[in-house]
Each structure stands twice: as structure tokens, then as C-alpha cells.
A = this chain, B = another copy of it.
């Protein structure tokens, strides 16, 4: 694939000098290992190697992956890690065509990765009550050419009426904000039945509040996960395989719940279950609010 003016390239000088840059015809990129002329790389293929001037240092030019973007894109707020975004994609069912309501766009990293995955016919309605976050996200999604897939709005979803902005039912609600439990009662009606609400929360006190809010608003299958990613150090020249000495010990807690439609409580006793099931059932009551209704 040929490199064009305006493309984002991932320039690798060496292990510690890796840069995510937009190709600009007529301009240069400088670092302490020399500089490259963007005009020299336009028309070349991704995956090529050029030499920096005047040091003749080899520079690899890659097409950036989502993981490169996540780890290198400028950011105003807390980072979200690639492994967590991967978990969110799979457990939320984000895919081509998904309609997503996002609150808390941060610097637009998660927004951008989701936008890549919902192409070509999905859409993201993204809200943030911080104007700086909106501006940063705007900049980043434009840099990546994803602006057609995202509608950005400077709103407080807890207090503002956003029903004029988002007029379709969503497949996913993605909450990366300080108080998801306050937002859930206000916006869960934008979500389709069987849709997923996902909350990213860095501290454990928020997790319980998210669970309670999801349960109170008709969500089931509420689960919270955290991921620990270890990088394995491999030395090609010797026997020294081991996990790296330092790792990220905590990124955040990710909670998922699935919306179901309201249902009428049954007044009649349900038919007796065999005794051995009953015991197990009584334990279940703690987990499923629909089970509670079965028992009434």
C-alpha cells in the first residue's frame, strides 16, 4: 500500500524512538537521529525502510495499527489500554454497523478505535461535558479521517436533553466517565433491548455503584472484569525468556450489562420445582432480578 500525503505513518528509528506522524508534502520530521523529508516517502510502500539525513540511520515506516494509535496519540485525559479496548469490542459486540452512544470521549482514542470497527455503516454519538475533550477528540478523529462516523456533542448527558441529537436506538452505550451510575437512569432508554451498556471505571467503589444502577434499570448479565497484560521478554541470542520485570498493574474495571425489556411481575406462585433445584434457585435470587419476580 502506497504512502500518500495526509496519511498517518508510524516511524521507527529504534526501540525508543517511535513516532506517529501525519505525512505533509514539503515538510520534514526531525529527531535526534536525523530527519526525514516527507516528500521522500510519499509514493513508497508502507513497510519500507529509508535513511535519515544526515545520519543515514535506518527508519522503518509502518502503517499504524490501532494499538500504535492507542499508545501514541496525544491525550488530554487518562489512557485506555489496547487490551481493554479489545475486551470492550468483544464483550460489547461492537462491529460493522453498530450504533454507539459514548459518554466521556476523553481525547478520542477509544472513540477512534470504535469508529474504525463500526465502518462503513455504523455511527458513534459521542458526548463530553468538557470542551477540551471535545476539541481534542475532534482533532484526533480528523487526523485519522474518521469524522464521518462520529457525531461529537458538548453536552452533560446527565443533565442535558440529548434526544434531539440521537434519534435512533443504539446497540451499545459506552460510558467512560466519572459517574456512570448517574448517567444510566437518564440514557438507558436510548439503548435497544438486548443491547450492551459498558462502563469503564478505574476504582472499585465505582464498580458497585455501576452494578446497582444497571440492575435498577433493567439490565441483566452484569459482569465486571479487569485485565492484567504481561509482556514476555524473549532474547533471540540466549536462553532468557521471562515476563518483563515491570508491568502495568491496573488499568481499570470494565463492567458490562445487557438491557432487557420491562416485564410484568407474576402474582401467582409458579409451579413447584423439584427440591434439589430449589436450593440452588434460592441462591440465584441474589443475582437475577427476574428470578426475584418468579418467586413472588
Q: Is A221 an interface residue (CB 8 A)?
A: yes
- Pick the contact of A120 from B120, B192, B207, B215 — CB < 8 Å? B120
Q: Which of A225-263 contact B (CB under 8 A)?
A: 225-232, 234-237, 239-250, 253, 258-261, 263
**Contact of B250 with A248 in the complex, beta carbons under 8 Å:** no
Minimal Cβ-Cβ distance residue in B for A78: B245
Q: How many copies does the complex hold?
A: 4
Q: Is A88 an interface residue (CB 8 A)?
A: yes
Decide yes or no: A260 and B15 within 8 Å by CB, A86-B85, A220-B60 being known contacts. no
> Number of residues in A with C-beta < 8 Å to the partner?
109
**Contact of A90 with B85 in the complex, beta carbons under 8 Å:** yes
- Residues from chain B with a CB closer than 8 A to the CB of A45 are 193-194, 261
- Residues from chain B with a CB closer than 8 A to the CB of A266 are 56
In angstroms, how far is the closest chain B Cβ from the Cβ of A148? 13
Q: Is A166 an interface residue (CB 8 A)?
A: no
Among A45, A49, A244, A284, find the residue whose CB has the most chain B CB atoms closer than 10 A: A49
In angstroms, how far is the closest chain B Cβ from the Cβ of A61? 8
**Contact of B239 with A249 in the complex, beta carbons under 8 Å:** no
**Contact of B83 with A95 in the complex, beta carbons under 8 Å:** no
**Contact of B49 with A263 in the complex, beta carbons under 8 Å:** yes
- Residues from chain B with a CB closer than 8 A to the CB of A286 are 235-237
**Contact of B226 with A227 in the complex, beta carbons under 8 Å:** no
Decide yes or no: A117 and B93 within 8 Å by CB, A88-B86, A204-B204, A227-B229 being known contacts. no
- Pick the contact of A96 from B65, B96, B240, B246 — CB < 8 Å? B96
**Contact of A204 with B242 in the complex, beta carbons under 8 Å:** yes
Decide yes or no: A67 and B49 within 8 Å by CB, A116-B95, A271-B56, A291-B58 being known contacts. no
Q: Is A158 an interface residue (CB 8 A)?
A: no
- Pick the contact of A234 from B33, B224, B229, B261 — CB < 8 Å? B224
Kindly list 10 other residue pairs between chains A and B, CB separation below 8 angstroms, not including A62-B194, A226-B229.
Answer: A14-B288, A14-B291, A46-B194, A47-B194, A58-B294, A86-B88, A203-B239, A226-B243, A237-B286, A244-B250
7 pairs from A and B in contact (CB 8 Å cutoff)? A15-B288, A60-B290, A65-B92, A67-B93, A82-B91, A86-B86, A96-B120
